[in-house]
Amino acid sequence: MSIVAKETIEVIAQSIGINNLSDDAALSLAPDVEYRMREIMQEAIQCMRHSRRTILTTDDVDGALNLRNVEPVYGFTSGGPLQFKRAIGHRDLFYIDDRDVDLKEVIEAPLPKAPLDTGVACHWLAIEGVQPAIPENAPVGVIAAPSNGNTHEQKDELPVDIRLPVKHVLSRELQLYFDKITELTLRKSDSALFKEALVSLATDSGLHPLVPYFTFFVADEVSRGLNDYSLLFALMRIVWSLLQNPHIHIEPYLHQLMPSVVTCLVSKKLGNRIADNHWELRDFTAKLVALICKRFGHVYNTLQTRLTKTLLNALLDPKRALTQHYGAIQGLAALGPNVVRLLILPNLEPYLRLLEPELLLEKQKNEMKRYEAWRVYGALLRAAGQGIYERLKIFPPLPSPPGHTIWKSKEKVVTAVPNKRKASMEPLEDEPALKKIATDGPIGSLALVTTLAPSGQNDAGQPSSSEKKTANRVGKDGQTLKKSAILNQIWKDDLNSGHTLVTLLELLGEGILSFIPSPEMSLFL
Amino acid sequence: MENMQAVNSFVAAYLKKKGFKEAEQLLEDLHSKDSAAPIDFHNDPDLAKFIHHFSQSEDEVARYQDGYSKLRSWTYSSLDLYKHELLRVLYPVFIHSFMDLVAKGHLQEARTFFNAFHEDHQLMHSRDLQKLEGVLSQSHLEEMEFARSLRQNKVNVKICQYSYDLLLQYLHKTQSSAMLGVINEHINFQATSGQPGSISDDIEVVTLIGSCQDAANQINQKEIHWGLLEDSLEERSEKEGGLLSDSEKTEGENKEGDAEESKKRSAEGGKQGSSTKKLKKDKAVNATAKSTRLEAKTTSSAPRVKPELTLPIMSTEVEQSILEDLRNRVQLSSIALPSVSFYTFLDTHNGLNCSSISHDGSLVAGGFSDSSLKVWDTAKLGQQTGGATLQGENDSTSSEHVVRPNGVKRSYTLFQGHSGPVYSATFSPLGDFILSSSADTTIRLWSTKLNANLVCYKGHNYPVWDVQFSPVGHYFASASHDRTARIWAMDRIQPLRVMAGHLSDVDCVQWHANCNYIATGSSDRTVRLWDVQSGECVRIFIGHRSMILSLAMSPDGRYMASGDEDGTIMTWDLSSGRCVTPLMGHTSCVWTLAFSCEGTLLASGSADCTVKLWDVTTSTKAPRNEEKSGNPNRLRSLKTLPTKSTPVYSLQFSRRNLLFAAGVLSKKV
């Protein structure tokens, strides 16, 4: 009759030591128990209302018991909401999962972080009846978008960016555009139309409202379609195009895009057919990564470090597949020679040792594996080579008359205006160059300068010419000052690069030589 | 019962005399029953009662269930014109049938009966049903106040004559004596001639506790003087108009101009006065503001009243500043909405019970369930957000910050002293005092200048739900779980008046603009108006369907607004005691209400995370002009301002009509 069953009363009676409660007593107690319980809950609701809440808590029940001079129920006030569990085999029976706590553990556990103290913040909810569009206010309610597939995506994805779910309104045209593009990506990514679509994505100015949808689309499809090579490539192309578009403000969505992009770079398996040229995809993605880092690295200064860390982890983990290593190497290489020099070269030797058995015909019988290994080796070679090339090609930035005066005055500049040096693109690289010239003696350097003068490099050429001017102005006075100290320092650098080159030679054999600009090679060899 | 016994004894005597002919006797019995049926029960209550009890001897349980379900289906299939009137009868019949069953001990059957039909009434009466559902034995009926008052009183139902006839005919025809009995015993029909009423105005059509309604009607006959205080600052500022000259002169003038003058002023009506005023103010206010002003003027020309309390004396500087504020007040209307400054409480860990904002918005107080009261100086809020590290530097203000043992300064002033959750806090009009009420049954007075507790007022026996300073300060009113409201003065530790009469907790309290009355809202779903001087109840406002959570008085003293748990706001005309308009729109508890300073707008803050602005001028004044003809314009929600998942705990219009709001950021689960 009442929701409190007779059996409940009996159990409660037993729990407080009354074993022989008669049936009649239990039967007549049950409705009364229910009545009292309802009374207390009603008062608890009253307490809840006065605490300005709409969710009933155990505190309210305690408050209600307090009003009736009943001792509160202990043991339920701490912590968050109570976790009820369904009793197995019963439909409507729940119990509180109350685990035994080892007191020793509690005592030894580190103190939890102190909760933040209460504060008050002030903002304008409305100014003369109009709500300003500031983050403190709820986003202005817009007319709900027409219900179609998009609404689902809105709900799923937008809270990631903005704290509250916002209703976007997409025009019909944009919706159609989005649908079309996604369909093309999924179905006909090799058609000419898709290429047109990519161009449109890269140039059209009105696409910004679609960016969240595209990022979500890419993330979603990448996670689902790892086996579909052409899809992945199409998706990466979309990302590339979006990055190219000057009218799109993609920054806020980068953190959503990056995981998918990195996945396409270092995933173990991309595509499920052998014919799938996943190497190409990895190369492309590596370029993409480099582009992102170049464009947004200064805004998100953690972007590159995080990325390199991820890639390096992939590279240095011997358990990872060779394909993953390949992706990591390509990614790192694309990030520039500095990254290569700092991260790949130091690890080159141990890694090659690891790679070697895979390369040899007699040790690795699996054709496919060996092919992969050679691929990795090739990538490594290219990366190292590029790194060293970038370094060496900066040596000859002196397309100017007598090398002797130049390098002397230049050292002057080094000491006088270090800031300026830092500002230039590859400041430190210049020093070994000078040193080399210095140590090789005037004859050698002169020869070098003369040979390289016509083919002056753009990168280094510009700063050097400007420096030259200042150098000339500074004149030749005090040339000898500190010169010896600086020379020593530069010597060391030079030796280092010399050493790297030598180790590279040892490790990679002749292959590396093709990367070294011929004049420098002649210098070293 | 007596009739039954009489018949029985008569039969017994007859049998004894004759010794046989039982069959004949039975026949006669039946005959008497049949002949009794067509008689109009309502004209002959004794007989009806007899028949009612007679029927009980049979299997009455099934009769209730059966009778009610038949009555229900008949009602639902009746003509649309009369249907909604007949539907009104169902609910009282339902609850009384249920209670009858319980009272007779058929508990199991009562429960099944309840479960079978309670959904019909869930929409309108969910709270009552919740209460009644728990009633499971006769003793509960006795014990539960709500049930007892229901049993002891008749339900008043207004119904048109034709519907009434229809109902009677049906009851006669179907011979459902159980239903007839219930209706006869517990329902008091007020048959009205003419057409059936419309569905909309059903507020007072069914009043469950009839005698209560009668009492209310009687009480509401009493005269109240809702006019503003004579010699109030507003009046003075109006009088002095655009002149910024010495207020002393006007003050003296005012003192001379006593009751006589005010009478005269009211007699000549607002028109003249306002027109002259208009001339004066032409340069100051723009055209729209003027027109609203004009309107407000013509309607609020009520007789000024004398204060019944000795009012505290205001210093001239304070007076000056208030006058300054009044001069700089922004005129609000339906087309000139206020600016709203919102104070959001962060990281309260579900502990904030109430908040309060001082009249000038410079201080914000929060009452917490950990017994503390915290006060923030809003002028310093900006600095805090600038950086917590900066706090160490502003040593000049350190006196206002409580320094903790470890030397870390808080951004607020902490007031500790209560020993239970703080349920309410209120600032004195000048912001130099705070009152807080708590579950520990006490009210404490704090000084914001000294940052210390000054007085602890003990008097209530149960948690004090609400406390409010009077508009002039010094006096304050409190509302408690002990079903009383009390009036206090700051310098007395005992209450000056105790207002008893509510049937359940008094949940909120509010002062009338002229300080002669207080209004209290209660869990018994009524709002009462009390005379402060006599302590008598002078108005009962019936109409809410759930617990009343917030009250506000219009600054012209004519209207009152009350908000309840369901999100309904009602505006009441104090002089008539009638509801002017229900304002529907909120979907959850209305925690707070505030009238703008000239009374044209009503702001409401709710648990549904919105602040709504309502146009009170159209909702209250239109009906008088066109007498119910212009329905669509009657209730106007001007603007809904959604917050970012922040339930609005308190609202406060500054004297310059800037709206302050406060709420706590709550994370959505």
B361, closest residue in chain A (CA to CA): A122
Q: Which positions in chain B touch A116 (Cβ < 8 Å)?
A: 346-347
Mutate to test the interface with B, among A33, A122, A163 (most CBs of B within 10 A): A122
Residue A233 pLDDT exceeds 90? no
Residue A63 forms contact with B (CB below 8 Å): yes
Query: Minimum mean pLDDT among A290-304, B14-28, B257-271, B638-652: which range?
Result: B257-271
Residue A112 forms contact with B (CB below 8 Å): no
Query: Is residue A114 very low, low, confident or very high in pLDDT (cuts 50, 70, 90)?
Result: confident
CA atoms B493, B499, B501, B504: torsion sign: negative
CB contact under 8 A, A124 and B613: no
| Phi, psi dihedral angles at B347 (to 5 degrees) | 55, 45
Query: Minimum mean pLDDT among B321-330, B597-606, B626-635: which range?
Result: B626-635
Query: Minimum mean pLDDT among A102-116, B60-74, B136-150, B248-262: which range?
Result: B248-262
Token pair of A268 as six digits: 């173990």
CB contact under 8 A, B339 and A126: yes
Which of A141-145, B89-93, B387-391 has maximum average pLDDT? B89-93
Amino acid B98: pLDDT: 87
Query: Is residue A421 very low, low, confident or very high in pLDDT (cuts 50, 70, 90)?
Result: very low
Amino acid B355: pLDDT: 93
Under 8 Å between Cβ of B501 and B219: no
Residue B387 pLDDT exceeds 50? no
Amino acid B170: pLDDT: 86
Rounded alpha-carbon distances, angstroms, from residue A193 to A80, A217, A286, A329: 55, 19, 25, 33
Which residues lie below 8 Å from residue A265, measured CB to CB, with a gap of 6+? Answer: A282, A285, A286, A289, A311, A327, A328, A330, A331
| Phi, psi dihedral angles at A92 (to 5 degrees) | -115, 20
**Average of per-residue pLDDT values in chain A:** 70
Amino acid A503: pLDDT: 63
pLDDT digits (tens, 9 = 90+) for A312-345: 888 777 777 777 888 888 888 887 777 777 777 7
CB contact under 8 A, B344 and A122: yes
| Phi, psi dihedral angles at B253 (to 5 degrees) | -60, -45
ipTM of the complex model: 0.74
Amino acid B397: pLDDT: 36
CA atoms B331, B332, B334, B339: torsion sign: positive
Query: Is residue A275 very low, low, confident or very high in pLDDT (cuts 50, 70, 90)?
Result: low
C-alpha span between B67 and B84 (Å, rounded)? 19
Task: Measure A254 CA to nearest chain B CA, in Å.
Answer: 26
pLDDT digits (tens, 9 = 90+) for B199-238: 544 555 566 665 666 777 777 777 777 777 766 666 666 6
The strand pairing partners of B446, in sequence order, are B434, B453
Q: Which positions in chain B touch A138 (Cβ < 8 Å)?
A: 609, 642-645
Residue B462 forms contact with A (CB below 8 Å): yes
Higher per-residue confidence, B538 vs B314: B538
- SS3 per-residue string spanning A187-238: HCCCCHHHHHHHHHHHHCCCCHHHHHHHHHHHHHHHHHCCCCHHHHHHHHHH
- Phi-psi group of B131: left, alpha or beta (phi > 0 → left; psi -120 to 50 → alpha; rest → beta): alpha
pLDDT digits (tens, 9 = 90+) for B150-208: 888 888 787 888 888 888 888 888 877 778 888 888 888 877 777 666 554 455 556 66
Query: Is residue A502 very low, low, confident or very high in pLDDT (cuts 50, 70, 90)?
Result: low
Higher per-residue confidence, A253 vs B377: B377
| Nearest CB neighbour to B549, from listed A34, A49, A130 | A49
Task: Look up tokens 């009806």; give the residue.
Answer: B48
Rounded alpha-carbon distances, angstroms, from residue A372 to A264, A323, A357, A482: 17, 7, 12, 53
Query: Is residue B254 very low, low, confident or very high in pLDDT (cuts 50, 70, 90)?
Result: very low
Residue B137 forms contact with A (CB below 8 Å): yes
Task: Look up tokens 């300026």; give the residue.
Answer: A420
CB contact under 8 A, B349 and A115: yes
**Average of per-residue pLDDT values in chain B:** 75
Residue A439 pLDDT exceeds 50? no
Which residues lie below 8 Å from residue B669, measured CB to CB, with a gap of 6+? Answer: none
Amino acid B138: pLDDT: 80
Token pair of A132 as six digits: 């300003």
Query: Is residue A489 very low, low, confident or very high in pLDDT (cuts 50, 70, 90)?
Result: low
The strand pairing partners of B365, in sequence order, are B356, B375
pLDDT digits (tens, 9 = 90+) for B641-652: 888 889 999 999
The percent of residues in chain A predicted with pLDDT above 90, rounded, is 2
